[in-house]
Homo-oligomer: A and B are copies of this chain.
């Protein structure tokens, strides 16, 4: 079951560096792509960074709509993450081609990717120099939700189900799952 995450704690969803799916839509078209280069930028109001190459269809939809969603996928979705990271949405509808389903967002027109373990809905903070020169986008998080079995009281709890762990992409289809939780004083 999804539960709202307090916006000032939304950075905790990305703080451990998981690979994300970026979903977007404009003018009746939708797309989803994988991105390893996403992270928090600020706490409150929460902002995130994501690198989106100029060649991508996602970039076109993001620039047309001014918004995007960072979806945090889990290990059960790893094959689909690789697939939507290696094909272009210009050639086919990547939701349909990958078997990923869309779900309604809370505050944006962009679709969420169903079955993910967390969502950060973002409005682009326009920074044309960063976008043009570095393919770097800043988003302000306007809504955040997570699977309440996996994220509560501001912390992830991945111990029970290995298939629900978040992902850390390397290259060539190789990942690490998020590993053992531990604390130091």
Contact = CB atoms under 8 A, between A and B. Distances in A.
Interface stretch (A37-45, A54-62, A99-107): A37-45
Contacts of A36: 15-17, 40
A78 B173 CA distance: 29
Contacts of A47: 134
Contacts of A134: 41-42, 47, 138
Given A42-B51, A172-B183, A177-B180, 15 more contacts: A16-B170, A17-B17, A17-B168, A36-B40, A39-B39, A39-B49, A41-B51, A79-B185, A82-B184, A134-B138, A155-B170, A158-B176, A175-B183, A176-B182, A177-B179
Interface of A: 12, 15-19, 36-42, 47, 49, 51, 75, 78-79, 82, 129-130, 134-136, 138, 154-156, 158, 162, 165, 168-185
B173 A181 contact: no
Given A17-B18, A40-B37, A138-B134, A176 B174 contact: no
A42 B133 CA distance: 11
A134 B39 CA distance: 13
A137 to B, nearest CB: 12
